[in-house]
Structure 1
Amino acid sequence: MANNTSIIGDLKHPKNDHQIIIVQILVIIFLWINMLLIVTFLKTKSFHTSARYLLFALMLLSDSFLLVLSDILLLLTALRVPMPVWLCIIVFFVVLLYNMVTPITLAAMTLERYVAICMPLRHAELCSTRSTVHCILIIHGISSVPSIAILSVFFASASTNVYKQNMVCSVEIFILYPWHNHLRSTISQFFFFIMCIIIIFSYYKIMKVAKAASGENKKSTLRGLTTVILHAFQLLLCLIQLWSPFIEAAALQIDLRLYAVVRYCNYVIFVLASRCLSPLIYGLRDETFFLALKRFYRS
């Protein structure tokens, strides 16, 4: 059973052409929306010095890249096009890396809101442009941990002949033993646990400030609290795919056709839709970003 920590193989062996066509339409729509938000960010110079919008742009770029790469892999898998295993290893590393960047960025954005509301006097210092760039590098470093761990055990277990072969690139080729799958699942659940703690901690601290605030401060704090809740919802959509293997395993025990349907729905809802609709909601909800988006649309 493959863990959905990776996008590779999440929609393996689609049986119907109409499923492929639906995915292509969704990818085009979602990429267009993401590109609209990215261009709005690039055209608004004030966003380039804000930690909040820099992290938002990172999430948009990461999701767009993941949409394109996962769609290419889907088509290659559907057409049964093989590639060298060494190339699949590189692709696997990149896809798993950017699959983790979004939830970790959401956690960082939540902490930024916590600093802005609970530590306003230190916000300019802790969330400066320089600090945000360092934060982006740290996000990529942390996001690479699952890839490094999974590939390390693969390198230790696979024979040298494997790297000379051509295979259809899928997460299944990295599962040589059952414990490899258990390791990947353990890493995923650990990240899920840590990010849930960050969300709960930030929500609790902001709630305390909201109760003590009054007037305009209270209104601003409540907006921050709503933002944290939205981040929690976005994070849930991104991380729920970590639990998908358990649902898929249960469906596989019932019927193979049901399993294929469940896997397809997981890909469309929790990989494609969650990586576009949530950023769109966040962008529209943010008053400053929404006004910039309106100006760009009118021009």
Structure 2
Amino acid sequence: MGSNIECSPSPVLLNIGGKKYATTVDTLTQREPYSMLAAMFSGRHNVCRDSETGMVFVDRDGKQFRHILNWLRDGILPTLTNVEYQELLREAEYYQLLELIKYIKSNICKKKGEDILEAELTRKEIIKIIQSSKIRFRGVNLSGLNLSKLDLTFVDLSFACIRKTTFSRANLHKAKLGDVEGEGSIFQDAILRECEFIGANLTGAVLDGANLQSANLQDACLVGCSFSESDLRSAHLQNANLSDANLKGANLEGANLKGAKLSGANLQSANLQRAYLRDVDLRDTHMDGAKLGGANLLGTIR
């Protein structure tokens, strides 16, 4: 009588830093097809195996590899501490697991319960990078660092985590900070002319006295931010959430606030001349002494 039982694929035996694992070629190649592991077991390369055990040896952290293997199997990770995430990130970068790297960095930025996250770079390291190459810190965790007074012109910080990072009096002319996680960050008296903050989360950030001329803050979360005496001339603030923001004495001449949320915002003594405020709800704002000459107020609710 014939058997209908199908045999599963032969296991791949791995020795990672002394810890032994068994998996399959499909697990190592399908979820992250552009990784180093996928390349190793794609069949295009000869892999060195122990002649007695048949194991493939990799001189890396065996403890962290269990998380990597579970990611490749199920696409999920357990909840880890910030230190554990950083350790796993090093391994993911070694194996070139691009989706896992993205997942880990996202969780490092969003992780709650730790007031200040451990930054990936020090101020000294950042200064060396500035002096030696084009500056790109996309997706990097710089939380809690003091980067005040640095020349960061044209820096690319898109998707970076800059919670409680200090940029006071730094020069960030034409810097890219789109989609950053920057709650509680400090940009007091910083040069932010023509900066890009599209979709940024700057809840509770301090931007007092900052130069934000022609900066693009469209769709940014600016809840509770302080822009006291800041220069926002010709700034793009379309659909930005400025609820409870402090804009006292700010210069918003010619700024575009179409669709912006201003509930509870303080606009006392602000310069809103020639600003675009069409269809904006101003009922819960504080506007004593605000200048509105030439502003587009068509459809504004007051």
Range into which the TM-score falls when normalised by the shorter chain: under 0.3
> Taking structure 1 as the reference length, what is the TM-score of the superposition?
0.21
Q: Considering only CA atoms, is the larger Rg found in Structure 1 or Structure 2?
A: 2
Task: Point out the structure with the larger helix share.
Answer: 1
> Taking structure 2 as the reference length, what is the TM-score of the superposition?
0.21
